Amino acid sequence: MTHARHTDVRETIGEDHPTCQLRDILDRVGDKWSVLVMNLLGSGPKRYSELQRSIEGISQRMLTLTLRSLERDGLVERTVTPTSPPRVDYALTPVGQTLSVQVSGLIAWAEQHREYVAASRLRYDAP
Amino acid sequence: MTHARHTDVRETIGEDHPTCQLRDILDRVGDKWSVLVMNLLGSGPKRYSELQRSIEGISQRMLTLTLRSLERDGLVERTVTPTSPPRVDYALTPVGQTLSVQVSGLIAWAEQHREYVAASRLRYDAP
DNA sequence: CAGAATCCAACCGGATACTG
DNA sequence: CAGTATCCGGTTGGATTCTG
């Protein structure tokens, strides 16, 4: 399983300090593409190829890995229509939709504060 | 500047497709510790050592890099009291607080759905 | 069309040692 | 106390090639 390391649950390092388990879940949002995929699926089911076209710069490999990982976590459902060529649709599960609400908030924040952050960085890097 | 690569703004790859700039901002939440630090600061200013004790497993290096990066983005403010030994406090800026609201939502989600996700993974990994 | 497999560079972050 | 500097292994993810 090539992508084992990608989907591997990081052990909670022995102790069950809440922080560790938190990190585990937050990694879901932390990887490079999950948030973008979830956001797109938030507006309805999409085909594999639609996702690929919509997400600027994602590789086939990463799209597949990201979708598998979301599916594994019960956030995305995969539906195969065995025509030829095959058609595969991805949709959020009910729980996935509750996460996509959070994700939308995050994206909205990012859009609203993009300029502020950019300006802050410029000032910080000036000297 | 050792942590240049950590704070480097990923270029928006030429075109100004919204996705690229989005990724740039989302990386703020994507790294390993920022969300945890912001969440702690959400309940009020903290000293460097308090943060380090509160965040299970963070190294000195990563705490410093994370704080610098948040400061650079205008989300956290650093205040030095030049006593001996020195005392340094970190607090969210007004904009930082608006992000911490989103972060709280994310963390709440993670806590509410931890078991669901864990169960999904078990089922997925079974065969 | 929707992937799986392999290869490999870049990067992230931990451990350690040193400082004002 | 609150950092900085250096070294270095593991992981992430892009490019490419092949398939049902």
Instruction: Specify if A1 maps to a domain.
Output: no
Q: How far is CA B122 from the centre of its chain?
A: 29
- Beta strands A87-92 and A46-47 are antiparallel
Instruction: Specify if A41 maps to a domain.
Output: yes
Instruction: Specify if B97 maps to a domain.
Output: yes
Instruction: Specify if B1 maps to a domain.
Output: no
Q: Cβ A113–B56 below 8 Å, yes or no? A: no
Which one is predicted more confidently, A117 or B24?
Answer: A117
Instruction: Specify if B9 maps to a domain.
Output: no
Give the CATH number of the domain where residue B40 resides. Answer: 1.10.10.10
Number of domains in chain B: 1
Q: Which residue of A has its CA nearest to B69?
A: A121
- Give residue A19's pLDDT: 67
Condensed to tens digits (0 to 9), the pLDDT of residues A81-115 reads 999 999 999 999 999 999 999 999 999 999 999 99
- What pTM was computed for the model? 0.86
Which of chain B's residues have a Cβ under 8 Å away from the Cβ of A29? 29-30, 106
Instruction: Please tell me whether any atom of strand D lies within 7 Å of the Cβ of B79.
Output: no
Instruction: Specify if B29 maps to a domain.
Output: yes
| pLDDT exceeds 50 at position A32 | yes
Condensed to tens digits (0 to 9), the pLDDT of residues A47-80 reads 999 999 999 999 999 999 999 999 999 999 999 9
Mean pLDDT per block of 10 residues along chain B (127 residues) reads 34 48 86 94 98 95 98 98 95 98 94 94 91
Instruction: Specify if A7 maps to a domain.
Output: no
- Give residue A10's pLDDT: 33
How far from A119 is each of A50, A112, A126, B77, B92, CA to CA, in Å? 34, 13, 11, 15, 17
- Give residue B11's pLDDT: 32
Q: Which residue of B has its CA nearest to A8?
A: B121
Residue B20 sits in which domain range?
15-125
Which of chain B's residues have a Cβ under 8 Å away from the Cβ of A105? 102, 105
Which of chain A's residues have a Cβ under 8 Å away from the Cβ of B65? none
Instruction: Please tell me whether any atom of strand D lies within 7 Å of the Cβ of A85.
Output: yes
Kindly state the DSSP code that residue A123 receives in the 8-state scheme. H
CB of B117 less than 8 A from some CB of A: yes
| pLDDT exceeds 70 at position A35 | yes
Q: Which chain A residues in 67-96 lie under 8 Å from chain B, judged by CB atoms?
A: 71-75, 95
- Beta strands A87-92 and A76-81 are antiparallel
CB of A10 less than 8 A from some CB of B: no
- Give residue B23's pLDDT: 86
Q: Pick from A19, A31, A73: which is nearest to B120 by CB?
A: A73
Q: Which of A112, A29, A70 is nearest to B30 (CA)?
A: A29
Three-state secondary-structure class, residue A80: strand
Q: Which residues 6+ apart lie within 8 Å of A19 measured at CB?
A: B36, B55, B56, B57
- Give residue B24's pLDDT: 84
- Give residue B22's pLDDT: 85
Q: Cβ A102–B98 below 8 Å, yes or no? A: no
Instruction: Specify if A75 maps to a domain.
Output: yes
Q: What are phi and psi of B82, to 5 degrees?
A: -80, 55
- Give residue A9's pLDDT: 33
Confidence of residue A20 (pLDDT cuts 50, 70, 90): low
DSSP per-residue codes, A19-37: HHHHHHHHHHHHSSSHHHH
